[in-house]
Amino acid sequence: MTHFAELAGLESVLGHLFVRPELLVQALTHRSLAFEQAMEATGKPDDGARADNERLEFLGDAVLGLVVAEALFASNSKWQEGELTRMRAQLVSRQHMAEVAQQICLGDYLRLGKGEERSGGRKKAALLANSMEAVIAAVFLEGGLEAVRSFARKYILGSAADDLARELRSGASLGDHKSALQEHLQSSHMGVPVYTVESESGPDHRKRFRVELRLRSADGETGMPIGSGTGSTKKKAEQEAARRALARMMVQRAELVPDEAEVASSAPNVIVEGGDAAARTKSAGKRLVKA
């Protein structure tokens, strides 16, 4: 990318028109290209003035953490430190930042070395996440915190924060579906989860794994699959399988257990023959809830 005008589309999404477009160019420059340029210019891998985005990435990470923490603190007055920390960790995670980068097509603007380009660098999650942080730093250096806040409200917080808040209120372990499933299985004595890689596909730099999840009972018997998931790593595929299995269990649980209000309204209609009617009605209500 040699013309600053080519960055206009990205500047529009970021909501900031750069006075120093070279700052944004640096934020988009991967070390692979900086290395190649340094070798061509000086014959050395580092001429002492690297023009890649790693320093900006460092600053962007700190700015991102501050802006997200500030937004969560202001909008969730009843949350304590632990809840705020868990929410922030998810919103500033590499996975979420890569998703934000993909949403704004950041990969199209990256400046990569030849080798990184050939290996699919524009779609690598870690590379996208790091570059997103560098771009946030560039926006901060020119537009200040308010410019970063504006971008964060639209792309980093937004619906993602709402979804995580609902998950937090449900009692699940944010983002860690395997732990949430493990806790549910232990409390309900349903068995031990067993994850099995069923298939692998794709080239080495873009692997896809498919994992199936089954439950093993106390007597060692393994049942039918209760969930499956795919991902770019085995861990991600396992998390997706756990997420789907837990979601299915929650739906089944909601269908089997009647609403407390419905139990309360139906309990007085229980036919009682002699004895303490009030006590028997209360006991019947408890049996219904337990069922």
Angle between helices 81-91 and 158-169 (to 10 degrees): 140
Among residues 52, 57, 116, 133, the one annotated as catalytic is: 133
Of 114, 113, 111, 95, the C-alpha closest to 103 is 95
Using alpha carbons, list the distances in angstroms from residue 188 to 69, 173, 244, 253.
35, 17, 18, 11
The DSSP H or E segment spanning 198 is strand 192-201
Q: Quick check: is 133 catalytic?
A: yes
Measured CA to CA, the distance from residue 230 to residue 48 in angstroms comes to 43
Among residues 61, 116, 212, 240, the one annotated as catalytic is: 61
Q: Which residues of 76-114 are buried (b: 16+ CB within 10 A; e: fewer)?
A: eeebeeebeebbbebbbeeebbbbbbeebebbebbbbbe
Q: Quick check: is 61 catalytic?
A: yes
Measured CA to CA, the distance from residue 218 to residue 287 in angstroms comes to 27
Catalytic residues: 61, 133
